[in-house]
Chains A and B, each alone.
Chain A
Amino acid sequence: MTTGGQGWKGPIKQVGECRWEIPANYKSGMRTAGRIYAGADMLRDIVADQAPEQVANVACLPGIVGLSLAMPDIHWGYGFPIGGVAAFSTEDGVISPGGVGYDINCGMRLLRSDLKLDDVSRRMGDLMDALARNVPAGVGSEGPIKLSRKELDRVLVDGARWAVENGYGWPEDTARLEEGGALAGADPEAVSSEAKKRGLEQLGTLGSGNHFVEVQVVVDVYDPEAAGAFGLRRDQVVVMIHTGSRGLGHQVCTDYLKVMDRAVARFGLTLPDRQLACAPIRSDEGRSYFAAMAGAANYAWANRTCLAHWVREAFARVFGRPARDLGLATVYDVAHNIAKFEKHVCGKAGEATVCVHRKGATRAFPAGHPEVSEVYRAVGQPVLIPGNMGTHSYVLTGTETALAETFGSTCHGAGRRLSRSAAKRQIRGSDLRRELEARGIAVRCESNAGLAEEAPAAYKDVDAVVEAAERAGLSRRVVRMRPLGVLKG
C-alpha cells in the first residue's frame, strides 16, 4: 500500500475571514480564481493532497460563473473536489457528471420526535435491533419493494411523491424536502436500461460505505427562534438518515461520463482531468444528462422517504404507539450531490439562471428566499450536517452571505481526512465498536472493517468545519446533536 496523496505546492493566499484564494493565473486554462473557505488551522490538511489542484481544474471549465468554490470540508475527489461548488452559464456553460458525483443526490434526512432522552435511553438496544431488522442495509442490499419498470419510471419523475402516494410517507413530508422531493425536468427515457435494472430492487435500502441511520439527541440550541421553527429543542430525540440513489445513480453517472468523455473532442474542449468530462448545457448530451440526473435525484428522494418509513415502523414497534403519536415528523431533507438550475445575482450581469453543481456541498438559502419551503421561509432553509460515528451532528441555516458568495451553498459534513485503508491500519473495528459502546453509543454494523473505515479519526473535526462555515458567514448553527445509536450499512 502506498498513499496516493502528495502535498499541493501551488499559490494560495488569505483574502478574508476563512477565505483563501488560488489566483486565476496559477495555471494556464483557468478562467477564474479558486476560493476555499476554511480556518487557518484546517489548511494544512487541505493542502496535504491534491484537492486545491482540483479547485483550479474546475476553474478551467467553459462558462464558469464567478469563482471555483470549495467548502471547509473539501477533500480530494476525482475530477471535482469533494466539497466543490461551481456554477455555469446556461448560455455557454457546461454540465459535468463529475461535478455531481456517482451517488447522485446523496443526502440527509432528519426526523424529529416527541421523545426525550429518558424515554429512549433504556430502550436503545431494542430500538437499534428493530432498526437493524427493518432497514435493509449493507453491500448489495435489496429491500421489500420490487418495482415494475413502469413504476420505476414514475419514481424517476415523481420522487418522494411516489413514496407518499404508495403509503411509504406522510402527505405533509414533501413540503419539508428540498425541491419538494421531486426535481423538475426528469425524463425516464434518458435513463439507461442498465441503470433501471439496478434500480428495480434497491428502493428503500441504505447501502453501505458512509451511509447510516443514526438516533441522536439534541444537546445544544444556538438559535432558539430557528430551532423552534424547525420543531427542535434540547433533550429531544431525532433520527438522521444518510443515503442516496444507490446503483441506479451510480450507473447514470457512469453512462454519461462515458458519453461525455467521447464527446469532449467534438465540442472542442480541452480538459485538465479526464474525469471532468462535460458537455455544453444546451447540447443533446448535456440535456440528456440533466434529465437522467434529475431522475436519479428523484429516486434518492423516494429512497430516503421509504427509509424514513422503515424508521417510523421500527419506533412504533418498540414504543407500542403509532409513529404519528410519537411525533416522528420530517424536519427536512437536503441533497449534497446535485446539479440544479437556480436564479442567482451574478455580478454586473444581474440575476441569471445558472447551473449550480454541488458535489459534497449543501444548498443553504437564507430567510425569505422563495425556494425555501414556506414552512421555514421566515428563518431560512435547514441545512443538515452529519458528523461521523461518535461525533456531533448539526442543523444549520442558510445566510445572505452564502447566497451572495457561494450560490447559496455551505459544507456537507466533516470531510474525509484518512483514506479507507489508512483508517483500517490505524483503527481496529472491534476496538472502535467497544469504545463507542462504552460511551453509550449503540452500534449495529455487520463488518468491523467497514466500521474502521468510517471511524471518527478518519474524518476532519466536524465542529471545526461547521465553525469555519459560520465564521465565513455561509451558515449559522441552529442545534447540535449527539449520537445515541448508529446503524451502518
Chain B
Amino acid sequence: MRLFAHTADVGLDVRGESLEELFGWAAAGLARVAVGRAAPRGLERADAAVGGPLRRVQVSLPAAPDIEALLVDWLNYLVYVLDTERIYPVRCELAVSGGEGGPWTLRGVVEGRPVPPQGGGRTVKAATYHGLELARAGDGLYRARVILDV
C-alpha cells in the first residue's frame, strides 16, 4: 500500500493477490490517512495479539454495478464508520463476489480500534470516482488507485 499526492487530495495505490486482499489494503490505506502513524501500515493478521479491545462491525454493501464502484462504496462505508463510531479498521474478513457485467457485492466483518483523540490523522471527506482504476495486472496481482478527498 502506498499513498500518492494529488494537488488538493491524497491517493491510495494498493495491490492484492485477491480482491479481498486488495479491499483490505485499501481499508488499511484509509486508516493510515485518517489516523496517521498510529494506524499500522497494513491490516493486522487475524491471529495476532492486539492491544486494547476491538469492535466488530458486520458489513453488507448493496450491489454495485462494477468492481470499481464497489471499492468506492467500501471506502465510503468505512469513512461513515470512522465518523460515527470513531473506530478505524485494523482487520477485515471479506467476501467480494460478482463477475463481468456486475453486480458486485461485499459482505463480511470489520474489526476496528478507537481513533486516538490526538492522532496525526485528518478528516477524510470521501473516496472519489476521480481517476479511479482497478485492474488485474500481468503478474496476476490486482491493483487499484483511488483518490480521497481530504
Contacts and interface: CB of A to CB of B under 8 A. Distances in A.
A265 to B, nearest CB: 8
Given A250-B79, A449-B36, A419 B5 contact: yes
Given A79-B130, A102-B149, A140-B115, A208 B6 contact: no
Contacts of A76: 6-8
B82 to A, nearest CB: 8
Interface stretch (B20-28, B89-97, B120-128): B120-128
A75 B7 contact: yes
A118 B10 CA distance: 42
A103 B8 CA distance: 13
Contacts of B125: 102-103, 250, 253
Contacts of B118: 138, 446-447
Contacts of A194: 80, 84
A139 B84 contact: no
Interface in A231-288: 247, 250-251, 253-254, 257-258, 261-262, 273-275, 277
Nearest to A54: B130
A420 B5 CA distance: 7
A37 to B, nearest CB: 19
A4 B3 CA distance: 11
B129 A275 contact: yes
B131 interface: yes
A464 to B, nearest CB: 17
Contact of A419 (B7, B36, B79, B82): B7
Contacts of A138: 118
B149 A208 contact: no
Interface string A421-463: 1100000000000000000000000110110010000000000
A82 interface: yes
Contacts of B122: 139, 208-209, 420, 450, 453
A101 B149 CA distance: 9
Given A76-B8, A421-B5, A261 B126 contact: no
A262 B70 CA distance: 12
A53 to B, nearest CB: 11
Interface in A198-222: 198, 207-209
Given A250-B125, A253-B126, A254-B126, A4 B119 contact: no
Interface string B106-146: 00000000010011111101101111100000000000000
B5 A274 contact: no
A51 B86 CA distance: 34
A130 B20 CA distance: 48
A421 B120 contact: no
A336 interface: no
A15 interface: no
A198 B79 CA distance: 11
A257 B129 contact: yes
A435 B34 CA distance: 28
B123 A77 contact: no
Contacts of A102: 125-126, 149
A208 B5 CA distance: 19
B132 A209 contact: no
Nearest to A262: B65
Contact of B10 (A51, A275, A421): A421
A341 interface: no
7 contacts: A2-B5, A4-B5, A76-B7, A261-B65, A274-B129, A419-B10, A447-B118
Question: Which A-B residue pairs are the 3 nearest by beta carbons?
Answer: A78-B130, A419-B5, A274-B129
